[in-house]
Structure 1
Amino acid sequence: MLVRALGAPVATILIIAVSLLIRFGIGLHPYSGAGLPPRFGDYEAQRHWMEVTVHLPIQDWYTNTTDNNLDYWGLDYPPISAYQSWLYGKAIQRLEPEAIALHTSRGYETPSSKTLMRWSVVASDILVFIPAVLACRHVFFKDATVEQRAWMLFAALLQPAAVLIDHGHFQYNSISLGFAAGAAAVVASGKEVLGSILYCLSLNHKQMSMYYAPAFFAHLLGRCLRRPTLLTQVGAVARLGFVVCATFACIWAPFLVPPSRAIEVLSRLAPLRRGLFEDYVGNFWCATSPLIKWKQLFSQQELVQLCMGATLLTVLPAMAQQIRSPSRKGLLLCMASSAFSFFLFSYQVHEKSILLPLLPVTLLAPDVPALAAWLPAVAAFSMYPLLKKDGLSLAYGALLLFWAAFTLPSQAAPNRTAASGGAQGRGGSMLSYGLPLIFRTSVGLALGIHAAAAVLDPPKRLPFIYDALMTALSFLHFAAAAVYVQLLLWSQDHEKSN
């Protein structure tokens, strides 16, 4: 009622303003590695990349030299991340050159430099992510009610996990996620070439965007195969293939000559040296590792093959559906399903990788309101071991309470719109009516683990038992969500693609 009384424009401005205010508030808290020499953390990595890209020639950005020790936070993201570091580094250099001075700025931490760095993340949201979310709302929910459009914007901009990782822990995931969201909106509106370019930008900002590759490939192939003749089908595929190759060539141009330089960059992007997983992440391999010692039973090569096979096996059904019957909202569901497959089963998954399935789920919030309210809270919970190390417990608790106050109570009741059709179909209705029990059980277990960790010391033989319990509980939630999204993708009556 309040949203309707305010009107769509005012509600949009208010939600964006609140989302920015909360980002600034989270930014007042600590960040990854604050005051922890000798390597500090992700904050220092981002600052160091600015230092390297501003002061060294582009050919040396990914090369181990006397001025660029790759063992100290060497660049390990694709070229657009490096270009972004250069751009923000140039801006910070003009305002506080000591913050990115070559060699002497390692571990540089001042209140003013922290403010500049925090502002750069907010700028990324303003320039890339927020416009992409607004574009998705216009394309996918142009004819939705004022309340539904407001809920979609709220879910996408204020889901706790993304805000805590980018503006607390300190990262720039909003850029790659923004490009991916923009690509989905553009493809859904019929502009396949521009959409392919935007997805290439996302993939070349962070290699995690590979999680969406099966969805975009299947959807675009399905659209191409709907052309009337074999010649036009082949032509459509060839055109998109040329666009992708040309986009990659432009982005990678400084690193293509000699070819060995490109191979050197690619070797920096492959995380095989880091092992099957790091720390505590709510995926299959980590959750089952207390029972099955994967790293002891299999060699690294065997684990890579095992992960590849499991990921491919679980992603194929969603791909097949979109090739057979591509649709606008089906693209978002396929993105979620594909990202879940990669998160749950691929090699070297980080806690932050859950942001990839979360994005399309929140973009579909009006159609899957229960899932869009419940899953972001679980995702934030799954990240707590990481956030706790960063000193973000207070920010975590406050943001989860804010999220719960505005979303979970209203979504815990059976959804009145579930029977009205839309992308939810029967699956959405089932989840909506089952959510009260799921919600109470999830909250009860999560609060129980938090309470136990707060008042009871872990057993000496199991010092990380609470982190492991968080991981296991999160995995069960994510696996259930992945199955639900897969079933929803196949069971719903998709709208016809353009």
Structure 2
Amino acid sequence: MAADSWSWFPALALGVSLLKCLFIGAYHSTDFEVHRNWLAITHSLPVSRWYHENTSEWTLDYPPLFAWFEFGLSHVAQHFDRNMLVVENLNYTSPSTVLFQRLSVIFTDVVFIYAVRECCRCVKEQKGSRDLLNRPSFILAVLLLWNFGLLIVDHIHFQYNGFLFGFLLLSVAKHLKSQHLQGALLFSILLNLKHIYLYVGPAYGIYLLRSYCFTQNNKDGSVRWSSFSLLRLLTLGSIVVSVCVLSIGPFIAMGQLPQVLSRLFPFKRGLCHAYWAPNIWALYNVLDKVLAMLGVRLKLLNEAELPRASMTGGLVQEFEHSVLPSISPPITFICTLLSILPAVASIWRRPRGARGFLRCLVLCALGSFMFGWHVHEKAILIPVLPLSILAVESREDAGIFLLLTTTGHYSLFPLLFTPAELPIKVVLMLIFTIYSFTALRKLHSGQLSLLHRLEVIYLLGLVAVAIACEIVFPLSPWQQRFPFLPLLTTSVYCSVGVCYSFLRLYVSLLREQEKPKQL
């Protein structure tokens, strides 16, 4: 594509940046205070106290490289309002503080914007297509830059996911261009910014070992062990180790590694977050609750002896199941490992280039979301954004993308629970969803639907759930008696769609694996 044909991209990026500015005065969650507190900790305290400070309940629990990122931001923040950098000023939200925090997210999204452009350059364009709006690169740019979930999570709810996803997508783009060392470096940096991206670590590790460390394959696609390059493996290892040493090294030298790890991996927090992520454990929890209620009614169980752990309230809590076996961290680890093992094995046996790696990455992210320990609902964006790249190149992936994105995005609705934000989230999601359906349908043949009839019925059911949870329930007398019901309904209904999308992704992977046998 000619260089001047990209003149539309800056306008698209500027448009979404201006939209983000409109949300500066909108509702912000406790994550706003989390990051303000981290600014104060990194600016006001010596490095040796960063991971020990607990004046606030929102202690520093991101890897050291992100702490240094907050440290850098704090030196700009002091020019807006120095009081935000006082550790004791809990829940401090002066107008200058709000302005700085919001602008810091918008400006650091430059990394995300650049990464989106690089990903769009890797997309295969349709031959003879002169319609800009129907170009895969243009559609992908809209799907990523204007992603509904990212907009509300970062620029209303408040976080720095765009900045972090920039490193992920830029790393993916490097691998799509076969620039493996640069891709490995960027992913290593990302892991030391936020450790949740360990979700996709197996996809990176196996793909790089298979496609970079082995320089040749046999004709049937199997590994030729004689072509293994120890030098390449050592080069990759040195990149990963160097980044980790720069990030964690100072804390190891201070003898604080156990303290840092205890903050990064708080296994005492329990199986589920306060609002259950729409995954397999949400369905497991509900099944346990239903069995307990039936047991009490049939007089098989004594209600007084059942655990009384709250199902949705509170910040973070452990949940002991009443009938079904309680789930421990090792069990979730084993389930996660088993869920991603076929995907990882597929890129070892038949790498199929960077697109195969990208599909494996999505499956690893979604498998970890499905079976992980204490998963946050916002983690659904990790598989959604990379899947956008596959969606513009494959009809099958486009259908899965529409199903997973619509379900996953709606599952984020409870994050914005104030009445003022209701019109915003409804309008933004409708615009993004309608565009996704129309653009991808037109791109992939036009007339035929990308979804099966039952999938369409399921997605229409989201409308009924939204009306019930957002409009009917708040006006009903049940609100005081069953305050958890909207969260429970949203989580369980969306869990069905996410689980189904996961299975459909695997079916797609198996079909692709069998293609050579059919030729």
Indicate the TM-score class for this superposition, using the shorter chain for normalisation. Answer: 0.7 to 0.9
Distance 1:304 1:332 in 2: 27
Q: 1:482 — aligned with what?
A: 502
Shift in Å at residue 407 of structure 1? 2.4
Is contact 1:139-1:189 (8 Å) kept?
A: yes
Q: 2:181 — aligned with what?
A: 193
Q: 1:275 — aligned with what?
A: 270
Q: 2:384 — aligned with what?
A: 358
- Counterpart pick for 2:342 among 312, 317, 327: 317
Shift in Å at residue 131 of structure 1? 0.9
1:257 alignment partner AA: A
Q: 2:35 — aligned with what?
A: 46
Q: What does 1:452-463 correspond to in 2, within 5 Å?
A: 452-453=468-469, 454-456=471-473, 457=476, 458=478, 462-463=482-483
Distance 1:495 1:238 in 2: 35
Question: Could you give the per-residue CA deviations for residues 239-283 of structure 1, whole angstroms, max 9, x where no partner exists?
Answer: 21222112211121221213x311211110002121001122101
Distance 2:177 2:117 in 1: 14
1:230 alignment partner AA: S
Q: Secondary structure of 1:388's match?
A: coil
Q: 1:61 to 1:272 in 2, by over 3 A?
A: same
Q: 1:13 to 1:371 in 2, by over 3 A?
A: farther
Distance 2:438 2:418 in 1: 30
- Counterpart pick for 1:115 among 95, 99, 104: 99
Q: 2:120 — aligned with what?
A: 137
Q: How high is the TM-score relative to the length of structure 1?
A: 0.86
Runs of 5+ unmatched residues, structure 1 = 33-40, 419-431
2:50 alignment partner AA: W
- Counterpart pick for 2:256 among 246, 253, 261: 261
Is contact 1:176-1:203 (8 Å) kept?
A: no
Q: 1:38 — aligned with what?
A: none
Distance 1:24 1:135 in 2: 24
Q: 1:478 to 1:179 in 2, by over 3 A?
A: same
Q: How high is the TM-score relative to the length of structure 2?
A: 0.82
Is contact 1:134-1:153 (8 Å) kept?
A: yes
Q: What does 1:285-434 correspond to in 2, within 5 Å?
A: 285-292=281-288, 295-296=320-321, 303-326=328-351, 327-367=353-393, 368-388=397-417, 392-411=421-440, 415-416=444-445, 433-434=449-450
1:61 alignment partner AA: W
Distance 2:256 2:139 in 1: 47
Shift in Å at residue 354 of structure 1? 0.5
Shift in Å at residue 306 of structure 1? 1.3
- Counterpart pick for 1:77 among 62, 66, 78: 62
Is contact 2:39-2:70 (8 Å) kept?
A: yes
Distance 1:400 1:157 in 2: 14
Q: 1:296 to 1:73 in 2, by over 3 A?
A: same
1:21 alignment partner AA: L
Q: 2:222 — aligned with what?
A: none
Distance 2:443 2:169 in 1: 29
Is contact 1:330-1:494 (8 Å) kept?
A: no
Q: 1:26 — aligned with what?
A: 23
Q: 1:466 — aligned with what?
A: 486
Question: Could you give the per-residue CA deviations for residues 283-330 of structure 1, whole angstroms, max 9, x where no partner exists?
Answer: 110232121267326999951111111100010011011112221111
Shift in Å at residue 180 of structure 1? 1.3
RMSD of equivalent CA atoms = 2.8
Shift in Å at residue 494 of structure 1? 11
Distance 1:379 1:27 in 2: 24
1:136 alignment partner AA: C
2:166 alignment partner AA: G
Q: Secondary structure of 2:288's match?
A: coil
Q: 1:427 — aligned with what?
A: none
Shift in Å at residue 495 of structure 1? 12
Larger radius of gyration: 2
Is contact 1:156-1:362 (8 Å) kept?
A: yes
Shift in Å at residue 414 of structure 1? 9.1
- Counterpart pick for 1:168 among 131, 135, 156: 156
**Is residue 2:453 matched to residue 1:437?**
yes
Q: Secondary structure of 2:215's match?
A: coil
Q: 1:20 to 1:335 in 2, by over 3 A?
A: same
Shift in Å at residue 389 of structure 1? 5.5
Q: 1:86 — aligned with what?
A: 71
Runs of 5+ unmatched residues, structure 2 = 217-224, 290-318
Is contact 2:171-2:187 (8 Å) kept?
A: yes
Question: Could you give the per-residue CA deviations for residues 84-138 of structure 1, whole angstroms, max 9, x where no partner exists?
Answer: 11111110112221222342x3222122221111010011111x11111111222
Is contact 1:30-1:392 (8 Å) kept?
A: yes
Is contact 1:155-1:372 (8 Å) kept?
A: no
Q: 1:142 to 1:221 in 2, by over 3 A?
A: farther
Between the aligned residues of both structures, percent identity stands at: 24
Shift in Å at residue 206 of structure 1? 1.0
Distance 1:417 1:233 in 2: 47
Is contact 2:403-2:459 (8 Å) kept?
A: no
Is contact 1:19-1:157 (8 Å) kept?
A: yes
Is contact 2:398-2:450 (8 Å) kept?
A: no
Q: 1:135 to 1:455 in 2, by over 3 A?
A: same
Question: Could you give the per-residue CA deviations for residues 311-366 of structure 1, whole angstroms, max 9, x where no partner exists?
Answer: 00010011011112221111211111000000000101001110111121123231
Distance 1:494 1:90 in 2: 55
Q: 1:164 to 1:101 in 2, by over 3 A?
A: same
Distance 1:347 1:270 in 2: 10
Q: Secondary structure of 2:451's match?
A: helix
1:174 alignment partner AA: G
**Is residue 2:280 matched to residue 1:284?**
yes
Shift in Å at residue 222 of structure 1? 1.5
**Is residue 2:11 matched to residue 1:14?**
yes
Q: 1:166 to 1:379 in 2, by over 3 A?
A: same
Q: 1:182 — aligned with what?
A: 170
Is contact 2:400-2:504 (8 Å) kept?
A: no
Distance 2:368 2:185 in 1: 22
Is contact 1:51-1:100 (8 Å) kept?
A: yes
Q: 1:417 to 1:205 in 2, by over 3 A?
A: farther
Shift in Å at residue 166 of structure 1? 0.7
Shift in Å at residue 436 of structure 1? 6.4
